[in-house]
Amino acid sequence: MHNLYSVKMRAAQGGPHEAGGRHISGAERIVPAAEVAAAAEMMARRAQEHERGQPDFINIKIESLSGMKIRELTSLPVYTLRAGNCGEGLHLARRVLELTGVDPEAARLAVNCLLEGPAACGRNMRGAVLMDVHTGCRLEADADRGVRVSYMDYHTSAAGELSIKLAGQGLDNEHVKEALCLATKVASITSIKAELCWSDDPGYTTGYVASARLGYVRISPLKEKGSDCGGRVFFIDSRSGRLMETVRQLEKEPCLITALGMINAEMPYQMFVKNISTGRVPDYGLSGE
Q: What is the pLDDT of residues 74-121, one digit of tens each?
A: 999 999 999 999 999 999 999 999 999 999 999 999 999 999 865 455
**Res. 183: pLDDT tops 90:** yes
Local confidence band at 279 (pLDDT 50, 70, 90 cut-offs)? very low
Task: State mean pLDDT over 232-251.
Answer: 93
The confidence score (pLDDT) of residue 210 equals 98
DSSP 210-232: EETTTEEEEEE-SS-TT----EE
Question: Tens digits of per-residue pLDDT, 21-75?
Answer: 777 788 999 999 999 999 999 999 998 887 777 888 899 999 999 999 999 999 9
Question: How many helical (H) and strand (E) elements, i.e. helices and strands, does the chain have?
Answer: 8, 12
Gap between the Cα atoms of 202 and 221, Å rounded? 12
Mean pLDDT calculated for residue range 128-133: 95
Pairing state between β 231-236 and 22-32: unpaired
Residue 286 has pLDDT above 50, yes or no: no
Contact between residue 92 and residue 219 where contact means Cβ atoms under 8 Å apart = yes
Confidence tier at 124 by pLDDT (50, 70, 90): very low
* 108 φ, ψ (degrees, to nearest 5): -65, -45
Entry pTM: 0.90
Confidence class for position 19, pLDDT limits 50, 70, 90:
low
Q: Comparing C-alpha atoms, which of 176, 217, 268 is closest to residue 93? A: 217
What per-residue confidence (pLDDT) applies to 120? Answer: 52
- pLDDT tens digits for range 252-275: 999 999 999 999 999 999 999 988
